[in-house]
Amino acid sequence: MSELNFSKDKKLILSLIQPTGNSFTLGNYIGAISNWDKLQSEYNCVYGIADLHAITVRQDPAELRKNSLRAYASMLACGIDPQRSVAFFQSHNKCHAELSWVLGCSTQFGELSRMTQFKDKSAKHADNINAGLFTYPVLMAADILAYNADLVPIGIDQKQHLELARNIAQRFNQKYGDFFTLPEPYIPKTGEKVMSLQDPAKKMSKSDENPNACIFILDDKDTVIRKFKRAVTDSEAEVRYAEGKGGINNLMTIYSCFTGKNYSEIESEFSGRGYGDFKLAVGETVADRLEPIRNEFNRLINDKAYLKECYTEGAQRAQSITQRTISKVYHKVGFVDAR
């Protein structure tokens, strides 16, 4: 691969995704991944698999390795070009963990204790409330600030973590002089939160015990259509976006994201038609869009040598950016220069 030279005229955007489960969900795809390819033309892009974050909950080592490779291959299959963007594994760049320690010393205990996700995960994993689970928002801040990222694509549920990253950066800048860029959220206007197909009151999640609740981007066409056919709706049988119609609202949001049609256009398209027609249309539309991704994933996951070439080069590029940050941070806080 050729040397990657970021443009000084473009802002830097960073996005990391955890390698949990065998595949990304439709929510991951709509909320973040579907935008990644387009963003490569507009920004300097850094994309990573957040395997360090993954071990805040217990993992089987063999499964974590397999899922991490599958996540990386999925990322490339979704359009990330390792020759245009930095694409790497978080654990392959030591600067993330090194910066996390320094930033942790500029983070207040009370700030971390107020993190909503810490409370939620502590309740879910009551037998493993570890220090990493408590401090991982600091590592998330290090992920962002190590690259001085301008923008971070996030879902609504991650806004609190981004605000913490900004607070940490401001606190560091006030003490040691302006250095870190204050990151801004990049939130897609549509489909920023995809809900469960079986319980529209909660977010679509790969950990849902109901197999029909979640669409995975590597699901085959028959599976995708079957899950949409079984999606929970209501008794009205009218395709209309309105309060109290969570199931239909969710399906309309998904359909809008894949077709570009607004809610009024969708309502007109399915006027006088039942939910069965609508669910089938949503399923077929999503399945057709995901098919080339699944085909490309199958090609990539069977070419381990190419994947290794990509993530090795990606880690080198990531470290070349972040090592400069770490060196300057170490100097600012008063460490003796290594050379």
Q: Could you write out the DSSP letters of every residue in 270-298?
A: TTT--HHHHHHHHHHHHHHHHHHHHHHHH
Average pLDDT over residues 115-122: 79
CATH 1.10.240.10 domain extents, the chain:
221-297
pLDDT category of residue 158 using cuts at 50, 70 and 90: confident
126-135 per-position pLDDT tens digit: 888 889 889 9
pLDDT for 152 equals 93
CATH 3.40.50.620 domain extents, the chain:
12-192+303-333
Average pLDDT over residues 240-267: 95
Greatest alpha-carbon span in the chain? 74
83-99 per-position pLDDT tens digit: 999 999 999 999 999 99
The domain 221-297 is placed in CATH, from the list 1.10.287.70, 1.20.140.10, 3.30.565.10, 1.10.240.10, at: 1.10.240.10
Average pLDDT over residues 300-319: 97
Residues 6+ apart with CB under 8 A from 65: none
Which residues are part of the catalytic machinery? 121, 203, 206
Average pLDDT over residues 298-306: 97
Residues 6+ apart with CB under 8 A from 64: 19, 51, 54, 55
198-227 per-position pLDDT tens digit: 999 999 988 888 999 999 999 999 999 999
pLDDT at 234 over 80: yes
Cβ proximity of 224 and 215 under 8 Å: yes
pLDDT for 221 equals 97
Reported pTM? 0.89
Return mean pLDDT, the chain.
Answer: 92
Query: Which CATH code fits 12-192+303-333?
Result: 3.40.50.620
Higher local confidence (pLDDT), 287 or 33: 287
